Amino acid sequence: MADPTGDNSAKNYHLDRPPVNEGFYVKGAAHLDWGMKNRLARIFRPGSGRTVMLAFDHGYIMGPTAGLERLDLNIPPLIEHVDVLMATRGALKSSIPPTQPKAVCLRINYDATVLFDDLSQGGGIACDIVNAVRMNAGALAVQTFVGAPGEKNSLELLARTVDAGADHGLPTLGVVAVGKNLLRDEKFFLLATRLLAETGAQIVKSYYCPGFERVAAACPVPIVIAGGKKVPENEALGLCHRAVSEGAAGVDMGRNIFQSENPLAMVQAVAKVVHENFTAKEAFQFYQDLAAGGKKRGRKS
Ligand code: R5P
């Protein structure tokens, strides 16, 4: 049996060697079947191997947060600039045109809401596999609470979702939750991301941290990073750049896009970093130029 306290001597992450892909460009996916690969190829662009997921599932925990007061107005203009929409079925069905062409990563669990002091107790299934398939989901997303009261429940939910997804060829995105009482350091993310991948998630969503290079190297499937709380645009673009430079396969970003002063410019700047390797400085300049152009166009002569 493994030492339950973990092997603290783990140190050789072979950072100089790319992942062994055996013929399919998405990390860890070489042995998956055709349908699963086809869905992954709609998530991770074949050209860059990366993705820009737009996360707007925040309402299922916190209600109409800033920037998401009107899903029907806030989200549609951003769609053409992202690869994937990550949302709940209620948000999609009520507010997003079914004619939109991008892949959908469907949030299929519910959790405690902001009305509770501790959100990390976990929840249950908010949408079953039949309804996810009916909605043409391209992936399923489940939040997990490693090291928190909801750990057992949420890992079980993840495992059941991975099984149901596999039956229908849908990959599962395992989401690493961070909460008031959860750590946000390399040691925690090394453990949590690996745990989710070994539970079967084909994609893991986590957070950037110092030492991220090792976190990404040790996770056998792609990691996409969340943006977290809104920070100034240049900082958010810096975070994206550091993450993809250190091995993230893209972002699953919400507040730093839809709470930006100019969400349309910001989403395009993020895509430049993710898909075209723009530096943070280049991307921020791009953002400013677009935002200024938008202002000019909006002015009445
Ligand atoms: C987490 O599971 C949330 O529901 C969001 O999807 C996630 O936090 C990403 O959004 P943000 O970039 O705003 O942190």
Q: Please give the domain boundaries of the chain with CATH numbers for all domains.
A: 34-291 (3.20.20.70)
How large a percentage of the chain has pLDDT more than 90? Answer: 78
CB atoms within 10 A of CB 13: 16
Closest CA to 151 of 175, 120, 109: 120
Query: Is the beta carbon of 254 within 6 A of some atom in ligand 1?
Result: yes
CB 182 within 8 A of CB 145: yes
The percent of residues in the chain predicted with pLDDT above 70, rounded, is: 93
Pairing mode, if any, of strands 84-87 and 51-55? parallel
Is the predicted pLDDT of residue 8 greater than 80, yes or no? no
Give the single-character DSSP code of 67: T
What's the pLDDT tens digit per position in 248-260? 999 999 999 999 9
> What is the distance, to the nearest Å, from the Cα of residue 213 to the centroid of all Cα atoms in its chain?
17
**H-assigned helices in 44-109:** 59-62, 71-74, 89-95
1-10, 106-115, 138-147, 254-263: segment of lowest average pLDDT:
1-10
Asked if residue 105 lies in contact with residue 173, where contact means CB atoms within 8 angstroms, the answer is yes
The DSSP secondary-structure symbol of 228 reads: -
Report the nearest atom of ligand 1 relative to the CA of 251: 12
Report the C-alpha gap between 274 and 254 in whole angstroms: 15
Closest Cα to residue 244, out of 281, 282, 218, 270? 270
- Mean pLDDT taken over the chain: 92
Which atom of ligand 1 is found nearest the CA of 86?
A: 6
Is the CB–ligand 1 distance for residue 58 below 6 Å? yes
User: What is the CB-side half-sphere exposure of residue 157 using CA atoms within 13 A?
Assistant: 28
Calpha distance 95→71 (Å, rounded): 6
Q: How confident is the model at residue 2 (pLDDT cuts 50, 70, 90)?
A: low
Distance 203 CA to ligand 1 centre (A): 15
Q: Quick one: tokens of 3? A: 């030492």
Among 86, 175, 266, the mutation site with the greatest number of ligand 1 atoms within 8 A of its Cβ is: 175
State the amino acid at position 178 in one-letter form: V
**Of 79-83, 145-149, 152-156, which range is least confident?**
145-149
How far is ligand 1, taken at its centre, from the CA of residue 227, in Å? Answer: 7
- Nearest residue (CA) to ligand 1, atom 7: 226
Q: Which residues pair with 54 in a beta bridge?
A: 85, 253
Query: Mean pLDDT over residues 255-283, rounded?
Result: 98
The answer to whether the beta carbons of residues 29 and 35 sit under 8 Å apart is: no
Question: Model pTM?
Answer: 0.93
**Per-residue pLDDT, 123:** 80
Nearest CA to ligand 1 atom 14: 228
pLDDT score at 300 = 47
What φ, ψ does residue 227 adopt, rounded to 5°? -85, -30
Q: Is 226 in the pocket of ligand 1 (CB under 6 A)?
A: yes
Other Cβ atoms less than 10 A from the Cβ of 104: the count is 23
Taking the C-alpha atoms of residue 248 and residue 294, their distance in angstroms, rounded to an integer, is 31
Q: What is residue 10's predicted lDDT score, i.e. its pLDDT?
A: 81
Any ligand 1 atom below 6 A from CB of 32: no
Please give the Cα distance from 40 to 21 (Å, whole number): 14
Instruction: For ligand 1, pick from 54, 182, 255 the residue to mutate: most ligand atoms within 8 Å of CB.
Output: 255
**Rounded alpha-carbon distances, angstroms, from residue 23 to 14, 31, 32, 61:** 20, 9, 11, 40
Active site residues: 205
pLDDT in tens, 51-99: 999 999 998 888 888 899 999 999 999 999 999 999 999 999 999 999 9
- Is residue 252 within 6 Å of ligand 1 at its C-beta? yes
